[in-house]
């Protein structure tokens, strides 16, 4: 089994050989490492994309808007991913954005996961019937499982989710009331022993 370090280094070098700058290649290496760590086929899709890139042209997104339409060519997931990370704080104000004709959409996934950590919000990434919930670059929940023919997504949507508790106020109150059973009543001896309560100045 290949180590994550090997995966990152090889993906980075392959990306440089595919024509990307060392800076972008380094971002690809980090993202493919993350993709494999989360159990998604990063190496497989990167390899397929680079093989396809020798024969086809792909469109680059530089400025990401609420609606991003294709001029006929599929968008490059790597350039999109790098710019998404760079612009995520501005894109967040849009609440949601969509991209038409994205090549190899799973390659965008780890870039979005890293973006989720940057802004401290969960992201929902969806295309076709696949949905991915990205949780602060800690985990990815999805209904994806070994699906094939993911060379192109006709339309993807990325939504920024507001941070909310997964429980009701009543559930919290009930649990907090139970937790109160561990609280210790403050006594005179505890007050005297508390930090800053002594009468002696040691400075």
* pLDDT over 90 percentage in the chain: 83
Q: What average pLDDT does the structure give for the chain? A: 91
Quick one: tokens of 63? 């400025």
Residue pLDDT, tens place only, 105-142:
999 999 999 999 999 999 999 998 899 999 999 999 99
Residue 97 Rama label (left phi>0; alpha psi -120 to 50; beta): beta
Cα separations in angstroms, 177 against 164, 169, 180, 183, 185: 21, 12, 5, 10, 15
Q: For the chain, what are the domain ranges?
A: 4-161
Residue pLDDT, tens place only, 5-44:
999 999 999 999 999 999 999 999 999 999 999 999 999 9
């Amino acid at each position: 089994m290949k180590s994550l370090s090997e995966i990152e280094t090889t993906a980075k070098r392959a990306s440089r050989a595919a024509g990307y700058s060392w800076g972008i290649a380094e971002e690809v290496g980090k993202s493919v490492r993350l993709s494999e760590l989360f159990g998604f086929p990063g190496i497989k899709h990167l390899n397929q994309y680079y093989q396809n890139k020798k024969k086809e042209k792909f469109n680059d997104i530089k400025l990401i808007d609420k609606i991003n339409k294709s001029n006929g060519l599929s968008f490059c997931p790597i350039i999109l991913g790098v710019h998404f990370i760079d612009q995520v704080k501005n894109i967040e104000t849009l609440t949601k954005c969509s991209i038409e004709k994205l090549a190899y959409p799973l390659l965008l996934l780890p870039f979005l996961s890293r973006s989720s950590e940057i802004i401290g919000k969960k992201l929902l990434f969806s295309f076709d019937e696949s949905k991915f919930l990205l949780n602060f670059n800690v985990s990815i929940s999805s209904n994806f499982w070994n699906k094939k023919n993911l060379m192109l997504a006709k339309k993807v949507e990325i939504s920024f989710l507001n941070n909310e508790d997964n429980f009701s106020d009543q559930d919290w109150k009930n649990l907090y009331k139970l937790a109160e059973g561990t609280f210790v009543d403050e006594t005179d001896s505890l007050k005297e022993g508390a930090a800053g309560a002594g009468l002696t100045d040691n400075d």
